[in-house]
Amino acid sequence: MKNVFISLLASVLVFSFIACDLKNGEDDFISSTNDTILNNVSILGLLGTTASSSNPNVATVETPPTDKIKITSVSEGSAIITVSDGTNSATINVSVSKTGTITIGTIVKYIDNGNGDFISSTNDATLNNLSTLGLVGTTASSSNASVATVETPPTDKIKITSVSEGSAIITVSDGTNNATINISVSKTGAITIGTIIKYEISSAQKIIGTWLCDDFVPERWFKFNSNGTGEFSNEGTFSDAVTFNYTYDGTSLTITDTSAALAIPNGDYPLIMASDGLSFTISGGGQNQVYNKQL
């Protein structure tokens, strides 16, 4: 009977030892790897070039570039994996069990507020003409070429290309006079045209040039020089033209005959410029004709 009891006790001890050994085997830590997180814009909001772990004693991460984020467990605990493209970051929360299994938690992707990446663009909506700029440009330059560049005319449009986010002033010149175009470039590369300051010639300059009365026979011409003198012809040429003096203050124009050969009554004739600066009306002494500038 004593021998039977001893045998039973021995069996219980062996069974208990085996059960304990099996339990300990189930709890042993075995390092594992998880690469289920794709390294792309869809998952992370960016394409990572570097990666780091907040707790490398719990989990480590391989440095991209790879198409997946490869995390390896080291010990039980939690860590935050940070993936960066050099400017922006996304994070991956991970936990490691006591057996070494990795569980992926919350992924906080980088959000660019819907603005996207910078893409260089071109804008040629501004016409290179008198109506838009007050001149026809032969050269163009940018005040900030690191933000926007501009092609040198002659072209019929001002072609601006974005380089980076910011603002710049485009100056268009005809060699003597300038017009400016204010522009801004968004962080996506889109160009916005702002204020255009066109070249405006002075009122005194508007009178300078040759003017023709189309409904007068023979053709009557006035040519205003920049020095306050001018010439008159009834034939459309100035080889035998009559000279005259004039004054113009931007509002009132007065021509003074210097010869009795003028085919209109002698004296002072007030000429009023039309609002577009391309025609004027002579009146006085029975005259009332419109003269158009020959461009």
Give the position of tokens 């002579």.
Answer: 282
CATH classification at residue 258:
2.40.128.370
Query: What mean pLDDT value characterizes the chain?
Result: 79
Q: Which residue has the higher pLDDT, 9 or 148?
A: 148
Q: Which residues contact 282 (CB under 8 A, 6 or more apart)?
A: 213, 264, 269, 271, 288, 289, 291
Domain range for residue 71? 33-108
**How far is the CA of 170 from the CAs of 136, 179, 183, 275, in angstroms?**
14, 8, 7, 29
- 130-171 residue pLDDT tens: 889 988 999 999 999 999 999 988 789 999 999 999 999 999
User: For the CA atoms of the chain, what is the radius of gyration?
Assistant: 43
Tally the domains of the chain. 3
User: Would 276 be classed as within a structural domain?
Assistant: yes
- pLDDT at 258 exceeding the cut of 90: no
Give the position of tokens 């005959």.
Answer: 257
User: Would 12 be classed as within a structural domain?
Assistant: no
User: Would 253 be classed as within a structural domain?
Assistant: yes
- 267-286 residue pLDDT tens: 445 555 554 556 666 655 45
